Amino acid sequence: MAIKNFRQTVQTLPPNPGAEILRYGWLKPDTISLGQGEGCAPTPDFINLASHQAMMDGKTHYGPVLGQPALREEIIDYYKRIFDVDMGTNRVFITASGTTAMHLALSSILDKGDEVVAITPIWKNLLGAVQLTQAHTIQVPLDYNDQEWSLDLDKLFDSVTPKTKAILVVTPSNPTGWFMSKADMARVMEFARERNIWVVSDEVYNRTLYDAVKAPSFLEVAHEDDLLMTINSFSKSWAMTGWRLGWLTGPAFAEDVIRDVALYDNMCPPTFTQYGGIAALKDGEAFIAAQMAGWKKNRDTVYNRLNANPKIETYRSVSTFYSFFKVKGENDSLALAKRLIDEGSLSLAPGCAFGNSVQEWMRLCFAVSEDKLNEALDRLEKVIK
């Protein structure tokens, strides 16, 4: 049936192959799904209890559009403690998910016809968020050589045109695990500053490095009035995917603009969940460390098994909880993803969901139990003989 009476931009949004595969796998009984980006650990009790207490205390009404002052203050303390960054609460905006933070950032700065230079691979939802603003994306792919991903900054800078309004970065990267060094961040920030263009940095995975407490943040190299917005979320490191709670940082002069846009989006983030966020930031370091230890063990298990398979090319990721790999002779990741479900009852994310440069790659989320992971790898190996 033809679609009528909707915006042309909405009607022409390309499908998200990753979401399509997830739905396809859900229809098949006994399918193991490692295609979605979340761990299997439940939200820790100390976070749940803080939110429950807030509910019992009557914190169930509308709150401030940009979030509870107590959570904004806690995020300021968090950045000082973990990143040694000082900033005011007028630079922190609480959002109902990291995805919402990204939409608020992009919709507040992009006009029809603007260009965004995006480092890829990148999750399809982010490209879709750009398209909804009627801006255009220029994809700049990472380079892959000798089991390592890297970014050619000259290639990135050469992709900027007079129409470029923003550079979009995901660091650490979903799905590759690559992250931008602080030195490169400084170069990107200087380049953007000279041209008066925005840097939008998705830093949702910046607590998932295996050999450090955190990944670099653009906030560590930026001036307080730079055209910089960073996106973060409680979903990954604090096991709060279903809570839909995140935050956005920007220059102080963006506060009123973001407030106005957020007001028309969803009025305010849920009130009681934000008290769970406060508890996560205050008391969550031990949980993060324990979770990372388990993920590191799983990372090594996946790498050792996949790397031993002569048909598979992969590498040992330095961050995130994803294994990214490709199968020799399999150039259509969507077709392979469907075959893994049909023949192996295993759902993985196809590389075509992450941009033009990784059509033959597959993403596997290993933030699950050892038993589930090993069973999934057994199923993968049976299909890829």
The 10s digit of each residue's pLDDT in 212-264 is 999 999 999 999 999 999 999 999 999 999 999 999 999 999 999 999 999 99
CATH of domain 8-43+286-383: 3.90.1150.10
pLDDT class of 1 with cuts at 50, 70, 90: very low
pLDDT at 17: 87
Mean of pLDDT over the chain = 96
pLDDT at 70: 98
Distances (CA, A) of 55 to 13, 60, 275: 39, 6, 9
Place of tokens 């790498």: 303
pLDDT class of 171 with cuts at 50, 70, 90: very high
pLDDT class of 127 with cuts at 50, 70, 90: very high
Query: Could you tell me how far CA 294 lies from the centroid of its own chain?
Result: 20
How is residue 74 written in tokens?
Answer: 């806690």
Start and end residues for every CATH 3.90.1150.10 domain found in the chain: 8-43+286-383
pLDDT at 9: 86
The 10s digit of each residue's pLDDT in 34-59 is 999 998 999 999 999 999 999 999 99
Backbone CA torsion sign across 150, 132, 39, 384: negative
The 10s digit of each residue's pLDDT in 321-380 is 999 999 999 999 999 999 999 999 999 999 999 988 999 999 999 999 999 999 999 999
pLDDT at 3: 63
pLDDT for residue 384 is more than 60: yes
Asked if 128 and 135 touch (Cβ cutoff 8 Å), the reply is no
**Cα Rg of the chain (Å, integer):** 21
pLDDT class of 15 with cuts at 50, 70, 90: confident
Asked if 43 and 243 touch (Cβ cutoff 8 Å), the reply is yes
The C-alpha atoms of residue 173 and residue 213 are separated, in whole angstroms, by 16
- CATH of the structural domain 60-283, one choice from 3.20.20.210, 2.40.340.10, 3.40.640.10, 2.70.98.60: 3.40.640.10
pLDDT at 385: 82
pLDDT for residue 12 is more than 90: no
The C-alpha atoms of residue 228 and residue 99 are separated, in whole angstroms, by 17
How is residue 16 written in tokens?
Answer: 């998200």
Pair type for strands 164-170 and 148-150: unpaired
Start and end residues for every CATH 3.40.640.10 domain found in the chain: 60-283
The 10s digit of each residue's pLDDT in 273-324 is 999 999 999 999 999 999 999 999 999 999 999 999 999 999 999 999 999 9
Mean pLDDT of 19-31: 90
pLDDT for residue 128 is more than 50: yes
Single pTM value for the model: 0.95
Q: Name, in order, each residue with C-beta under 8 angstroms of 80's C-beta and a sequence gap of 6 or more.
A: 86
pLDDT at 2: 53
The 10s digit of each residue's pLDDT in 67-117 is 999 999 999 999 999 999 999 999 999 999 999 999 999 999 999 999 999
